[in-house]
Amino acid sequence: MKLVKNSVLIVDDEGLNITALTHILNSDYTIYIEKDGIGCIETAKEMKPDLILLDVIMPAMDGFEVIKILKATAETRDIPVVFVTGLRNSQDEELGFVLGASDYINKPFNASVVKLRVKNQMQLVNQMREIRHLSITDTLTEVGNRRHFNDVIQQEWQRAVRRETNLSFMILDIDHFKMYNDTYGHLQGDIVLKNIANLINSRLLRPADQLARWGGEEFAIILPETDLDGAKNVAEDIRVAIENAEFMTVDNKPTRVTISIGVNSIRPSREGYTLEKFVADADAALYKAKELGRNRVCVI
């Protein structure tokens, strides 16, 4: 698997400083460049760099003003900022740390020191990213967990309300999974869960479509900007793919499973219709699918 470089946004109004820092860091990191505070803020929002190297003294808006805005903005508040400065005033250095700076790099640049300070920040960034990934990932299937999905669906609901767009949601349940576990064992059941998660993900074609393990043998999918017909098509595609799939046992024998799916879709502007009701209706549609014989897609 190809490793993705960490990224650094260099913000300095002096071209020589930008050239020097780029030369020092370019081989190890993806570099973005801005020459003023406004550009820094906009690029930080858009590109989400892993680290910002921010000059303190700049015209119009100095680094202290920039970091205040960065730390007060949801999209950028968690990006570490390292001040780049020729100042030697301890009060300025203290102010920078009070405002949220992670470190300082002094001018003129010492290439080895610059590399080490940036490397130290990147190690912290990557450690925190891994911790976050583990906290939102189901350990068995390696898709999102229920906690993460609850956050995602809340965000997508609010976005759909703001933009007045459709939002679709479905809950998928493996039919007679207890019987499957009793027949083939829980180890085989875990293999099936992992394979089904991979199969479902392969049928979701847009980055915005989110899959999570809802609990036990249940999965959930959120489909932003998707109407009911579109959601039903996705659900039926997943149902057929799983129905036709063979899941090999540890002794190389083929087994099959089916799933039942409950689907709900809405443009969430109806007064009094809550996110909780939206989810509950999808769950009710799932139970309807089970009552009608399983291995089917139902809507409420």
DSSP string, 124-183: HHHHHHHHHHHHTB-TTT-SB-HHHHHHHHHHHHHHHHHHT--EEEEEEEETTHHHHHHH
Q: Which two tokens stand for residue 228?
A: 């009911």
pLDDT tens digits, 169-204: 999 999 999 999 999 999 999 999 999 999 999 999
Q: Once rounded to an integer, what is the mean pLDDT over residues 142-149?
A: 94
The residues of the chain that CATH labels 3.40.50.2300 are 7-135
The residues of the chain that CATH labels 3.30.70.270 are 146-299
C-beta of residue 257 within 8 angstroms of C-beta of residue 247: yes
How far apart (Å, rounded) are the C-alpha atoms in residues 11 and 83? Answer: 10
CATH topology of domain 7-135: Rossmann fold (3.40.50)
In this predicted structure, the answer to whether residue 217 has a pLDDT above a threshold of 70 is yes
State the chain's mean pLDDT as an integer: 94
How far apart (Å, rounded) are the C-alpha atoms in residues 198 and 240? Answer: 15
| Centroid of chain to Cα 140 | 18
How far apart (Å, rounded) are the C-alpha atoms in residues 128 and 102? Answer: 14
Q: Does domain 146-299 have CATH number 3.30.70.270?
A: yes
In this predicted structure, the answer to whether residue 162 has a pLDDT above a threshold of 60 is yes
Q: Which two tokens stand for residue 37?
A: 């505070």
pLDDT at residue number 251? 83
pLDDT tens digits, 43-89: 999 999 999 999 999 988 999 999 999 999 999 999 999 999 987 77
**Model confidence, pTM:** 0.73
**Which residues does the annotation mark as catalytic?**
217
